[in-house]
């Protein structure tokens, strides 16, 4: 019997993490408009079908640039999502039927993870609505986008295990130890006491104390620090143990 191959498209979806001034980890979401005027708009991960002339990595870079206006960002492919039931809700099925003609069985997506400093100005050329959402307040998203975000946490923890310097991609150029601590706790499954954290950080020569402290804060002003990638690379230091 002749095999029944699926009729599909391939897309890329991007999970973009950011860390804000309130020390919260965020995800960048865009507005997905309904396939027709009767459907409500909905938040989703930024993504796109891959053009016929594009490599999948090039498509992800295009999506990020269309989303943020930023050309150089950390970007890594981490998983392919191809479950036959990716579009299981009626709204998702209707959206696919309206958006793609002729009808297709499913969209297979290649997911990418990216890190972005929130102090970068977001200048989207494709989306009218682009917003940061705290990771603990992400709404219900279409398709399997919530699952993709969950899987991205698994991936970013692997990044930190292999290269601790990645965490500084999310921090401002000058940061406090409390900011670093709160970001580490948000990303890592390992919980560490802040006093012990301070002791460990003090031993890292790639985290440089600055002659500058916070201003206009309600709490006791903290000293600012910076990350020196050259010293880090020389020592090849990894995760806080």
Of the two residues 138 and 101, the one the predictor is more confident about is 138
Query: Strand pairing partners for 209?
Result: 225
DSSP strand pairing (47-49 vs 223-227): unpaired
pLDDT at 81: 96
SS3 content of the chain, % helix, strand, coil (to 5): 30, 25, 40
| Mean predicted confidence (pLDDT) in 42-64 | 92
For residue 236, the model assigns a pLDDT of 64
pLDDT above 50 for 176: yes
Q: If you average pLDDT over every residue of the chain, what do you get?
A: 85
| 23 pLDDT higher than 70 | yes
Q: What is the average per-residue pLDDT within 79-89?
A: 89
β-pair type (42-44, 207-213): unpaired
- Residue 178 near residue 192 (C-beta atoms within 8 A): no
Q: How many angstroms separate the CA atoms of 94 and 73, rounded?
A: 34
Q: What is the pLDDT of residue 37?
A: 47
- Residues 98-103: what's their mean pLDDT? 71
SS3 118: coil
Domain boundaries, the chain: 8-162, 173-235
- What are the Cα distances from residue 56, in Å, to 53, 67, 152, 160? 10, 17, 18, 25
Has residue 91 got a pLDDT over 70?
yes
Mean of pLDDT values over 52-71: 90
Helical H segments across 32-89, by residue range? 56-68
In 3D space, the residue among 123, 169, 160, 164 whose CA is nearest the CA of residue 19 turns out to be 169
What integer is the mean pLDDT of 64-69? 87
23, 53, 56, 91, 103 from 95: Cα distances, Å: 36, 25, 23, 6, 11
* Token representation of residue 214: 């916070």
User: Can you give the pTM of this predicted structure?
Assistant: 0.85
Homologous superfamily of the 8-162 domain (CATH): Nucleoside Triphosphate Pyrophosphohydrolase (3.90.79.10)
The more confidently predicted of residues 121 and 26 is 26
Choice between 240 and 31, residue whose per-residue pLDDT is larger = 31
Percent of residues, the chain, with pLDDT higher than 70: 92
**Mean of the pLDDT values across residues 115-138?**
85
C-alpha dist (Å) from residue 167 to 160, 177, 240: 7, 13, 11
> CATH: 1.10.20, 1.10.10, 3.10.620, 1.20.950. Which one for 173-235?
1.10.10
Please answer whether residues 25 and 17 qualify as being in contact, where contact means their C-beta atoms are separated by less than 8 angstroms.
yes
For residue 22, what are the contacts with CB-CB under 8 A and spacing of at least 6?
none
């Amino acid at each position: 019997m002749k095999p029944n191959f699926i009729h599909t498209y391939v897309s890329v979806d991007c999970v973009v993490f950011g860390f804000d001034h309130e020390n919260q980890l965020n995800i960048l979401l865009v507005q997905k408009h309904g396939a027709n005027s009767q459907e409500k708009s909905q938040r989703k991960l930024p993504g796109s079908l891959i053009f016929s002339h594009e490599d999948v990595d090039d498509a992800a870079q295009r999506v990020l640039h269309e989303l943020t206006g930023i050309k150089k960002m950390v970007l890594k492919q981490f998983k392919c999502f191809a479950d036959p039931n990716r579009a299981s809700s009626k709204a998702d099925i209707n959206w696919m039927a309206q958006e793609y003609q002729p009808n297709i069985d499913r969209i297979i997506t290649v997911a990418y993870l990216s890190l972005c400093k929130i102090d970068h100005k977001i200048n989207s050329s494709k989306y009218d609505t682009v917003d940061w959402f705290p990771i603990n307040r992400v709404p219900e998203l279409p398709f399997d986008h919530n699952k993709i975000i969950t899987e991205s946490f698994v991936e970013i923890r692997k990044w930190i295990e292999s290269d601790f310097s990645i965490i500084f991609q999310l921090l401002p150029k000058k940061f406090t130890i409390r900011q670093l601590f709160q970001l580490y706790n948000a990303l890592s499954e390992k919980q560490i006491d802040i006093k012990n954290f301070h002791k460990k950080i003090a031993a890292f020569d790639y985290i440089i104390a600055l002659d500058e402290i916070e201003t206009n804060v309600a709490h006791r002003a903290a000293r600012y620090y910076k990350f020196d990638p050259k010293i880090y690379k020389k020592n090849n230091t990894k995760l806080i143990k």
